[in-house]
Structure 1
Amino acid sequence: MAIYLPFVKLSQWQQIAFSAALLERMLPNYKMFSEAVDFGDAKILRNQLDIIWQWLANRNTVKINIDAQLLKLEAEIPDPEAFDSFGVFPALDACMALTALWQLMQSKPLKKSIVSEVDLDDIKSISRLSHNSVSYYVELLLLEEAADVTATNATTPQPITDELVITDEQMNEHPLMQWEKDSQNELFDFLKFAAEDKRSCQLAKQMSLSEGLSNLGIEIS
């Protein structure tokens, strides 16, 4: 079910723009979690992503202290063991993806012809984190649906057990799962040939926000 994209075909700038666009779809998940449990400050993540877009549009003039940004972000990362709500996981994924994006920006740019799989660890991690947020959420939705059907069809009340099985086919056919894959593929196909300029940033951001929803289907406010 994983998404495999040939990131070696993207320049570092294109990889950063791809990652920033994915994070536009992940940040609303953090904001909703933060507001629900009164933890963290979603504005800090929003501000950091805005700074990254500014750098992408004007990288020759925008200077960033990335170590300081990473330190600031660290305080906003939730501990999944401290919360009993599902929302902590996509919130954590957003923080981990933003951390990986800062690390990607710290790495030394390489020519496409000499990029190795190790050099692609950060962008592959960001792609995977976005996909995993959706995958886990979809699995929970399907388990709830299956449990409801089982309870409805049972002649006597049945406890929900771990015996419910969700197949790969069910996962792949879910609209949110398909949308995540389509979104990543469309962004990749666009950025692969995009000029490294402000207009490409605007178009990539518009693509990620076109539905007005996070990757979990949460309305972006």
Structure 2
Amino acid sequence: MAIHLPLSRLSQWQQVTFCAALLERMLPNYQMFSQAVDFGDAKLLRNQLDLLWQWLDKSNRTKINFEAQLNKLEAATPNPEHFDTYGVFPALDVCMALMSIFQGIQDKNSADFASVGRLSANSVYGYVELLLVEELVEESGEESDEELTVDPEALEQHPLVQWEVATQNELFDFLKDAPENKKTCEQAKQLVMEEGLSNLGIEV
């Protein structure tokens, strides 16, 4: 279950914009986790995403000290083994996505940008699977979910999954012909945040 988009056909600038826009939809998942368990630094991640948008502004490009930013991000990245809440997984996906962008900018031949789309989709698939399992538990009256398996079609047809696929496709289609300027960045952000929700349906 993956969204296959030919990101390599986009310029590096377009790929970074694609990833930064997806991160706008993912970031609230980290913010909610951080607040719930009092871990990490949501402001740091917000600042780092803002830094990427500033880097994308060619008319006033900001320099990024990638090593320093990656070190800060590493300290704010949660270890799933240390938390017993599901929210740690989408929060981890946010951190890994940011790392992928920082690394991808430094290595023009890397496949790091493609992993951001996968991480966003994985957050959605994992969350929806959890919701569907909980529904099956309620319907079956079983106390354990160990024997329950989710119908792949039900997963693919879930509104959040459909929305994720549609958003990534729409964003790609918009960016492939868009000029590389600040207005395109603003339009990309507007496109993904039109609903005012994270990719998991959390209100922003």
Q: TM-score, normalised by structure 2?
A: 0.97
Which structure 2 residues correspond to residues 1-221 of structure 1 after superposition, within 5 A? 1-58=1-58, 61-108=61-108, 119=109, 121-151=111-141, 158-220=142-204
Report the alpha carbon displacement of residue 98 of structure 1 after superposing the two structures with TM.
Answer: 0.3
Any stretches of 5+ residues in structure 1 without a counterpart?
109-118, 152-157
For 1:86-106, what per-residue CA distance to the aligned partner results, in whole angstroms no more than 9, with x for missing partners?
A: 000000000000000101111
How far is 1:120 from its partner?
5.0
Q: Which amino acid aligns with 1:176?
A: L
Which has the greater radius of gyration?
1
Pairwise CA distance, 1:159: 2.9
Which whole-Å CA distance do the structure 2 matches of 1:74 and 1:212 have between them?
28
Identical pairs, percent: 61
RMSD: 1.1
Instruction: Indicate conservation of the 8 Å contact 1:7/1:120, yes or no.
Output: no
Identify unmatched segments of 5+ residues in structure 2.
Answer: none
Question: Could you list the per-position Cα deviations for residues 39-70 of structure 1 after superposition, in whole angstroms to 9, with x for gaps in the alignment?
Answer: 01100000000010011113663211111111
Change (3 A) 1:166 1:61: closer
d(CA) in 1 for partners of 2:16, 2:114: 11
C-alpha distance in structure 1 between counterparts of 2:91 and 2:188, whole Å: 22
- The amino acid across from 1:124 in the alignment is A
Q: Find the aligned partners of 1:59 and 1:92 in 2 and give their Cα distance.
A: 33
Paired with 2:58 and 2:166, the residues of 1 have a C-alpha distance of 29
Q: Please report the TM-score for the alignment, with normalisation by the length of structure 1.
A: 0.89
Give every structure 1 segment of 4 or more consecutive aligned residues whose post-TM-superposition deviation is greater than 4 Å. none
